[in-house]
Structure 1
């Protein structure tokens, strides 16, 4: 037999063979559950902390009324208060935490500073690299420490140096800039030249490379080009008709009314070939019998274009009719080596219209708005 303090009456032990009333058993279980929930004890878990707050020594569970004093860990700076005290309240919650910890900042080396970025926070890692052609002297990494200093100063980047280049046999070296010393620096450059009548076969330009080596010099060999060729509708202005040596030049001109397309001068190259020949482009004829055109910055009746000739590359404007709006549309065409295409929209007027009503032609009436002429 046992006596439950909340029931206020005696009940038989459950081990006796006598059966308990079901209603009484249910009431007993409910009262036990109520008793357990009323007497449960509230606690606080580990305090919620933000980055930079020292968590060393914090427990997992705290009793009601326990206090904890928090501070910033090494490498962080507190805000208004240097420390903050929080309490585990009766509700099992911690009181408000006002402590804010900000990381200490390390100043960037001046060469690395940019607008809006002059320092970096605690624990940041700076990785240094040098441009191609430079070697690093010093540490390639630096860390922002807890005291606001960098673990290592920035390194120096020193230009790669190369030994002086060797001049090619039967040649010489012409440096871009004068310098003194027994070595060259990365980026310094020069030209390898061969003594006439030889030409460089290989690299004509040399420099100190990022690898610390110099560009290999060329081989100087005797080179000649064939007798200068002729061009259609053109002629050589001055040249002795013979084979030419390396870098010898020849000039061309075109016949009257032909236009030179390309360089007027060709040169014997180290391959034994001449550089690209120019071409003489033919003039064009305006292929209409009646009408008015715009040429050389003025309107001209086709009968007044004497001679009927337009040079290569020159534009000619024809006038077409917009029947719906009854306005003129200027359409340009360009002379291209003897060919000047007449726009499809151009309709040549009849002889009577051209003679008796010239003011009604598309070239003489109001021009269409610009957006309709595109």
Structure 2
């Protein structure tokens, strides 16, 4: 006579009460193990048939889910739940100490074994001021400690300068060592191309003294107008004076300073650094005009490749046929006022 072996089961079934061998006609009630939920409300029974096989069952066991704490959901790739037996591992960034369990497991009842831990900033002892100097904290400090990430500035009694100016509480729990206060001077400041030094005495300067620059007429100052004597004995970076541009066409119309003007009416022919000039090109297929912008960059104003300068006769006798005067291409009509055609 045939017998049945142990019933087949998948993960989640309770196999603790199953035997190795069953006789024909014996029945088994299938149940889900702890931490799993059955797919049917009624118990499922299977029996051993004369063929030595088990009857079919539609019972499925799915793991119970634990809700992922809201604070951790941004790290869970969009998931809001984790299945039974899942493990969350916790670590803190450098400069922070973990307070609590470093892992938590999803239990059979849908709760976590441990709450998420806290990451507390590392403490540092209060920094020491430099000899002949003091410390200026970015934030008010109370007690005898600072925390990781807090920073401060070292200052020395004039005219001395600190060998470095900034300090902080570091990830290993140590504070920056105090700098050395020493006398520092910067050389006589030098001029800049196309600019001048304003209101300055030509002498050596001490730490944190400043000199101010300005540009010649029509040049644009780029950078900080003031340069400062640094603790290294060098000046901070000086500004640069950027040159104006000439609009390099003899005939045509441009859009500049919110006006559509003929090039002959641009007097003087000069635009400043970073100012924008719009040229007009012809769409030959559609027989319409379209604007192309160009920016003055330190004396250079590129002419768009599509721009074709008209001849003298066309410019003087038929100005209304130029790309700037005909209908603008549908997708590129600029929101700009129009001016009367240039007289011949």
Distance apart, 1:261 and its partner CA: 2.2
Aligned match of 2:2? 42
Q: TM-score, normalised by structure 2?
A: 0.80
Distance verdict in 2 for CA 1:366–1:138, change over 3 Å:
closer
Q: Helix, strand or coil for the counterpart of 1:290?
A: coil
Q: Helix, strand or coil for the counterpart of 1:260?
A: strand
Asked if the contact 1:174/1:193 (under 8 Å) is kept, the reply is yes
Separation in structure 1 between the aligned mates of residue 284 and residue 16 of structure 2, nearest angstrom: 92
Write out aligned runs for 1:322-337 (5 A). 322-337=283-298
Separation in structure 1 between the aligned mates of residue 282 and residue 243 of structure 2, nearest angstrom: 31
Asked if the contact 1:289/1:302 (under 8 Å) is kept, the reply is yes
User: CA RMSD of the aligned region, Å?
Assistant: 3.3
Aligned match of 1:273? 234
1:181 maps onto 2:143 in alignment? yes
Aligned match of 1:263? 224
- Counterpart selection for 1:239 from 192, 200, 215: 200
1:306 maps onto 2:277 in alignment? no
Q: TM-score, normalised by structure 1?
A: 0.75
Aligned match of 2:170? 209
1:88 maps onto 2:51 in alignment? no
Distance verdict in 2 for CA 1:280–1:58, change over 3 Å:
closer
Separation in structure 1 between the aligned mates of residue 313 and residue 194 of structure 2, nearest angstrom: 41
Distance apart, 1:175 and its partner CA: 1.1
Greater length-normalized contact order (CA 8 Å, ≥ 6 residues apart): 2
Distance verdict in 2 for CA 1:73–1:321, change over 3 Å:
closer
Separation in structure 2 between the aligned mates of residue 111 and residue 91 of structure 1, nearest angstrom: 56
Structure 1 stretch displaced more, 43-52 or 90-99: 90-99
Aligned match of 2:180? 219
Q: Helix, strand or coil for the counterpart of 1:303?
A: helix
Distance apart, 1:59 and its partner CA: 3.1
1:165 maps onto 2:127 in alignment? yes
Aligned match of 1:60? 20
- Mark the runs of 5 or more structure 1 residues left unpaired by the alignment: 1-40
Distance apart, 1:218 and its partner CA: 2.5
Q: Helix, strand or coil for the counterpart of 1:355?
A: helix
Deviations 1:79-127 (CA, angstroms, capped at 9, x unpaired): 6568554321223222344655555566767765788636752x33343
